[in-house]
Structure 1
């Protein structure tokens, strides 16, 4: 087995490992509110989320294409025939994945709901800069940075407004009976959120696997680039990514679930339903309309704060929210730094 093929296999396995960590790291995004309000038991919620992850992952590829060619320029390695150039490209992707996985594990350990998406993007940027590979700053600005700030604001505002509307509609209804009905509705909203998680996050792994195959010189044999120069995501890559994130989700992310479901604010079923519904809507819009790889974590966290703020601004534990936001700002540079170091180390070895 050539070292190039060995590295291709290694990078693909690491990409699926990242997908798995994404699943257990972000499982809380879909089900924390439903579990905390007792709309679903933890194991039932995780099983439902895992199934919806698979379905969501199979519904589109535009976010995968944004990751595959919208962050760094990997196409220069396409079937170059130059073994050294191919190795160089594979080490870039390898460094990006290790940077993202390390940051995922650190934030999971401390129970911080940081963004796996932005960890991966930070890893790609860090490895790209360390290797002097062209970084697509225009694409990062419009597809990553602007959505990074916009999606939490939109999630907060819409969840707050939606919850105000719910309170007005049901103001004269019996409280306990109404909450029982919202527990049932939360099953639907949690499923919608899990579908959005699969739709967004599994695609990011698809994009990285395709990058590895391109860097390893398999673009032509796998038919990864179409006549217009765009990426093609093979069905084998879609299925592997869908299953990896689903297995990760089913394994659960209890530390982060406690942060989202209990530490930040005590939610009732109506507010949980409002937060999940709004967050799912934002995920679908960005996946199908803008093709932006936004953070499911940022979106649901902001929506939870928005729905919870309708109790009163004091109802939200802003010190917990502050720690989460700090994690958001640290994610891209921290993952980029780790990825750059990993790239330099492997580049010296290889």
Structure 2
């Protein structure tokens, strides 16, 4: 690491920031259904997911190699291109998190990378065949396959439990949900944490620290795993709410089927080096589970907004990445300007999110605007002034509190006298 320049260090830190946003943006993938069905408490669920994300980061590097040496040509790409790509990906992640839309962090990264590379060196810098076979085709196939598998699995679980009491069956599936949620978290670590490993490795190659085609160094694997785990622990509560309550109303049987189907698709793709969107896979599985239950519904208005976000992710992040790269080409002042845009944009989005916060306390609430009765009562008491001294209200208040104890009767047979109020 002794050859890392200041610019390269900034790029590595920015990549880890993206990894952090990826973690809290995609927590919903593993834990939205588990939380919405009550299988785990919200904070317990995200803590479990964080640990398994960290473990999953060490299981494979196939996806990292796809990112570092497959999507764009390493030769002739400057380190500033990676920085510009990350800016586009981070800002899109934060914007969709603010809106509660489960868009793809992976495609945000790909879009930023493609846009910045094209702005830097033209279309020849992009490997079109790799993008089609390992990005676009999985993007279309993964949610369809996961959704179909979840729908069939849901039908099967209800058929198996048709002659048993649904309440007792639900308890068993809640246990299964915990196991399947852990599997999704592990799969998420094997796929999404590797994307940051790949982007850092690519930056190290462009900076001359590593030879082209190198595997991620151990310190890159560790730092990427820790960053995504920390982001996961914070919990992307807005997106958890959308996936857990906004798309469909899930029961434990459906949650188990959705998570198992999504985990299977993600793990198989990671083994093949396909850098698919875990968000799209899990969202497709949730919709499939919603359709698989008799009487189940999918809220297509929410799904439509989600589909639009999916379609916009690559081009939107690409445009931001291209604009950022245009600025970095102007020299040091351009790089500084891009950094200011990143920090300022992130701050604005964060401040907007505080107007109606979503956290582990209200993530499953039916109405975010409704306050619990105790909170309302306490708030009214806090703003109601006490009665002025000597006023009728004050005297009445004191009268209600003050009594004279009854005298002890001299005759034991006599009944006690009632207390007299003053």
Task: Give the TM-score, by structure 1 length.
Answer: 0.92
CA distance in structure 1 between the aligned counterparts of 2:293 and 2:304, rounded to whole angstroms: 19
Tell me which residue corresponds to 2:398.
Answer: none
SS at match of 2:38: coil
Tell me which residue corresponds to 1:45.
Answer: 45
SS at match of 1:315: coil
What do the CA deviations read for 1:127-183 (whole angstroms, capped 9, x no partner)?
111112510000000000000000011011111111111111111111100001111
TM-superposed deviation, 1:217: 1.0
Larger Rg: 2
Alignment of 1:58-207 (within 5 A): 58-74=58-74, 76-77=75-76, 89-133=78-122, 134-207=125-198
**Structure 1 residue 303 and structure 2 residue 294: aligned?**
no
TM-superposed deviation, 1:314: 6.3
Deviates more, 1:211-220 or 1:50-59: 211-220
> Structure 1: which 5+ runs fail to align?
78-87
SS at match of 2:73: coil
**Structure 1 residue 236 and structure 2 residue 236: aligned?**
no
TM-superposed deviation, 1:4: 7.4
Change (3 A) 1:3 1:57: closer
Alignment of 1:200-239 (within 5 A): 200-220=191-211, 225=212, 230-239=213-222
**Structure 1 residue 342 and structure 2 residue 324: aligned?**
yes
TM-superposed deviation, 1:277: 0.3
TM-superposed deviation, 1:216: 0.8
CA distance in structure 2 between the aligned counterparts of 1:99 and 1:296, rounded to whole angstroms: 19
Tell me which residue corresponds to 2:336.
Answer: none
CA distance in structure 2 between the aligned counterparts of 1:4 and 1:276, rounded to whole angstroms: 41
Tell me which residue corresponds to 1:255.
Answer: 238
Task: Give the TM-score, by structure 2 length.
Answer: 0.76
**Structure 1 residue 294 and structure 2 residue 276: aligned?**
yes
Change (3 A) 1:3 1:126: farther
Tell me which residue corresponds to 1:330.
Answer: 312
CA distance in structure 1 between the aligned counterparts of 2:295 and 2:96, rounded to whole angstroms: 26
Q: Is the 8 A contact 2:108 2:314 kept in 1?
A: yes
Tell me which residue corresponds to 1:274.
Answer: 257
RMSD: 1.5
CA distance in structure 2 between the aligned counterparts of 1:285 and 1:237, rounded to whole angstroms: 24
TM-superposed deviation, 1:312: 4.9
> Structure 2: which 5+ runs fail to align?
333-422
